[in-house]
Amino acid sequence: MSISMYQASVPPIIRALTNLRVILEKAAAHAEARKIEPSVLVSARLYPDMYPLSRQVQIATDMAKGGASRLAGKEIPKYEDNESTFPELMARLDKTIALLETLKPDEIDGSEEKTITLQLHERTLTFKGQQYLLDYVLPNVYFHATTAYAILRHNGVEIGKKDFIGKIS
């Protein structure tokens, strides 16, 4: 049995972003219960040269919406990247999940050999669709979701592997 490009992209990305949203809800509750200013967690980093939590969420959603949109041949929605609160970050996740839920299998299936070209600063990357999904989009979504998780866990939010992975059917 083979897996389609849609099955390999949209459902796992929605799952990762949904789980990240639950983690942010727990972080907001943690801050409130412990009388921690939420901006402390939203701006927290694992190391000074790494992006803060807010940027980790922004990049995870950018990779999700950009990856799925490129594979589907659709215009990529632009977000402002100005979220600075838990409610704003959760709204961004909700907006991205809602976008992904509009995509249909027939819009993404068959994109395995589609040429995807990205301009990154002074570099141009060119992929075939399957390579783009498996080697670029999914690793980036998971990296930034994992880093967001690690920032919050490092700062005492009571979350664990079950929160990151979510419910298994």
Residue 166 lies in a domain: no
Residue 109 lies in a domain: yes
Residue 164 lies in a domain: no
pLDDT beyond 80 at 11: yes
Residue 110 lies in a domain: yes
Residue 163 lies in a domain: no
pLDDT 10s digits, 27-57: 999 999 999 999 999 999 999 999 999 999 9
| Confidence (pTM) | 0.96
Angle, nearest 10°, between helix axes 86-102 and 53-72? 10
Residue 169 lies in a domain: no
pLDDT at res. 169: 74
Q: Which domain holds residue 101?
A: 5-158
pLDDT beyond 90 at 167: no
The b-or-e profile of 131-141 (16+ CB within 10 A means b, else e) is: ebbeebbbebb
The rounded distance, in Å, linking the Cα atoms of 87 and 83 is: 9
CATH number of domain containing 146: 1.20.120.450
pLDDT beyond 70 at 1: no
pLDDT 10s digits, 85-133: 999 999 999 999 999 999 999 999 999 999 999 998 899 999 999 999 9
Residue 137 lies in a domain: yes
* Confidence tier at 79 by pLDDT (50, 70, 90): very high
How many structural domains does the chain have? Answer: 1
